Structure formats: structure tokens, C-alpha cells
Amino acid sequence: RDPAPRWDLRPGRPNLSAFPRAAWLAATRRALHRAPMTAFDYTAESGAAELRETLAAYLARSRGVIADPARILVCSGFSHAIAILARVLHARGADEVAFENPSLHIYRNIAAANGPRVVGVPVDDDGITVSSLDSPAVVVTPAHQYPLGVTLAPGRRAELTRWAEETGAVVIEDDYDGEFRFDHQQVGALQALAPERVVYVGTTSKTLAPSLRLGWMVLPRFLVEPVRTALAESGARPALLDQLAMAELIESGAYDQHIRRCRIEYRSRRDKLLAALPDSVLPQGISAGLHLVLQFPGEVPKEMEVLAACRRRAIGLEGISGYWIGEPQREGLIIGYGAAAKHAFGGATQALREAIFEVT
């Protein structure tokens, strides 16, 4: 990997300095105090019962997910989830998995490595184009499409779940930053519209820290046992103590408090970034999440020219071109406003402004 840039505007990263160390330490202490001796035996394949019960209540009130603990399986992040789900679905006859185009290539590669071939489905201003779907499974990011940032429109949500119910397809919902919405129109989980066709996947990678490798799947009933078996065979699961600490963090209310603080901070950063941008760029995907997309009207500048100007200033960010399946269909920059330390964010936005002015 490249060394960390001086000005970190890379997408897909939270503010690691905001990790609630004191609350996590307190939750870990309570978990250790309350855990019986048997808790430290070989852990349950489904995950700690305490965490699954807590998640069922939390996801219902925060994201509108329809779930009970028996349908929740704990995993080691979204990479682990997509590997397991691709393997299970392929074993059940799904020889193809559709991904939004553009989407994150890492997850496409993981899915393909576990059996099914991967195809792309176009995304427009209303989200994935359901009329283009012809696969037994599809992976979507409906709350804040990655990387374009669009929200799956209400009509498309209904169309997608209706398509899944009529065809028997499985929809995998990656709710990677659903907690961070900044406008007044909250968007609940797609899973609530078709809980027997949609697999809901959430993680702590954006809310707490990626290195925790802690995630969860809320599954249709027919997938619970096959996925549980595949999880056991994978031999990977989050540490029990982290699972118990996470349950304590949610139960105490500290997790909600942390989410609210981060939402306020990220909205402030988004607003500062928007204010710093020149009028020559078109920001998109600004209603939620930890990133936005910049597009440049007209023929120039090109994405590579702007990226080169950013590299000269030691700014870390990414272009859209690398996210497409096949030929890139548009150019632009993906600006993450979560990763930079709070004291460095002003300098990062100023450096970005200078880089854009250099080439426009």
C-alpha cells in the first residue's frame, strides 16, 4: 500500500481519532465482569447470543430492520460476509452475482473467487436500474450508493424488492454508512420491504473502526442454516470479547451517543468541504455518508490531471474511473471527509481547492 498521505481525503475511512476509547474500555470491563466461564469456550457459530439479541433491537429502531436474534449471524466484516454468501448462493445454484456499476472492485473479486461470475448493472440518479437485472443475486448499497452517492429512490426500492419476490432472487444490502444521513429525510433499510428476500449486512467499519472486523448478517429464514454452516467451515469469527463489548456499548447507550457525535462532526466537515470547493465543480452524493463525488463539467480537466495535481500536494483521494466494470462511463473524484484528523481537515480542504484551481 502507498504510505499515508499528508492530507488524507481518501474515501471509505472514518475518523479513527473519534474511536470512543473510554466507552469501549468501560464496556469491555462490564463484559468481562458479567461473562460466565463458559463464555470463553469455543464460541458459538452464530455469534454471541448477547450481541445478536442486542443487535435485533438496535437495528429495528435505528434502521427499521425486521429481525430476531435467530436470523442474525455475526461475521468478520463485509468482506467475510460477501465471501460466505457468494459461496452459499453458488452452492445453491446461483452461478452469477450482479453488482452495481460502478462498485468496489474488492468485493466483486471476493464474490468471484467464491464461485459465481460477476456482472455489472447500471446505476442512474435513482440508483440501480432494476429493469437491467437478470441474475439470481445482486449486491446493492441503497442508502448511499458507493461510490456515486445516490440514494435508491422509493419507486426503485419497491421495484427491486418486487423483482426479488417474483423471481426468487436474493438481494444483498450493504448498509455500510446508513447511520450517517444529514438531511431530514431518513432512509431506512431496504430489508424491511422484503425480509425473506433481502440479506442485510452491517458492520462497525465506518461507525467505530475497520480493524475491529465486526459485522452482522440478518438473513432470510431459508439461508440461516446454510450460512451458519459456511461460517463454521470458514473458521473465522470476531473475538468473543469484542462481541460482548459491542453488546455492552449498545445497551449502555454509548454507541448511540457516539453515532450522534460523529454525525454532527461529519456533517460539519461536509459543509466545510462544500464551502471550500470552487464553483467549477459539481458535488454529488452529499446527503449522507463519509464521501462525496466531484465532477467537472465540460471536456477538461480530466480526472488524471486533477489526481496528478493532488499527488503533487500529497493529497490522498481517488478517482471514479477505477470503480467501473468495463470501460469507465464517467470521470470524477471521490472525496472522503472522514479520515483526516480534525486539526488537519482545514489544511486538507485548502490543498484540494488549490489543486482544483491549478487545472481548471
Q: Which three cell numbers stand for residue 189?
A: 433499510
Q: What is the pLDDT of residue 158?
A: 98
Q: Does residue 205 have a pLDDT over 70?
A: yes
> In this structure, are strands 137-140 and 170-174 parallel, antiparallel, or unpaired?
parallel
β-pairing, 318-319 with 333-336?
Answer: antiparallel
Lowest mean pLDDT among 44-48, 50-54, 218-222, 251-255: 44-48
Q: Which three cell numbers stand for residue 111?
A: 464474490
Question: pLDDT confidence of 2, banded at 50, 70, 90?
Answer: low
Residue 296 pLDDT > 90: no
Whether 23 and 331 have beta carbons less than 8 Å apart is answered as no
Task: Decide: residue 24, CB within 10 A, 0-12 exposed, 13-18 middle, 19+ buried.
Answer: buried
Question: Mean pLDDT, to the nearest integer, of 194-201?
Answer: 98
What pLDDT score does 360 carry?
Answer: 80
CA 329, CA 295: separation in Å to the nearest integer?
Answer: 12
330 pLDDT higher than 60: yes
Query: What pLDDT does 43 receive?
Result: 73
Task: Locate 137 and state its grid cell.
Answer: 443475486
Least confidently predicted of 2-6, 209-213, 240-244: 2-6
pTM of the predicted structure, to 2 decimals? 0.95
What pLDDT is recorded for position 172?
A: 98
Tell me which of 221 and 183 has the higher pLDDT.
221
Q: Write the burial class of residue 45 (CB in 10 Å: 0-12 exposed, 13-18 middle, 19+ buried).
A: middle
For residues 290 and 307, give the distance between their C-alpha atoms in angstroms, rounded to a whole number. Answer: 19
Per-residue pLDDT of 262-281, as tens digits, reads 999 999 999 999 999 988 88
- pLDDT given at position 301: 72
pLDDT of residue 97: 98
pLDDT value of position 45: 86
What pLDDT, on a 0 to 100 scale, did the predictor assign at position 1? 55
| pLDDT for position 3 | 66
Per residue in 24-41, pLDDT (tens digit) is 999 999 999 999 888 888
Average pLDDT, the chain: 94
Compute the distance between CA of residue 20 and CA of residue 30 in angstroms, rounded to an integer.
Answer: 15
Q: Which pLDDT value is given to residue 258? A: 98
Check whether 137 has a pLDDT greater than 90. Answer: yes
Please give the grid coordinates belonging to residue 199. 440479506
Q: How confident is the model at residue 163 (pLDDT cuts 50, 70, 90)?
A: very high
Q: How far apart are CA 97 and CA 258, in angstroms?
A: 35
**What is residue 41's predicted lDDT score, i.e. its pLDDT?**
83
The mean per-residue pLDDT over the stretch 147-155 comes to 96
**70: pLDDT strictly greater than 70:** yes
State yes or no: pLDDT of 299 exceeds 80. no
Q: Which domains does the chain have, with CATH numbers?
A: 7-18+255-359 (3.90.1150.10), 21-253 (3.40.640.10)
- Reply yes or no on whether the pLDDT at 69 is more than 90: yes
Is it the case that residue 319 has pLDDT exceeding 90?
A: yes
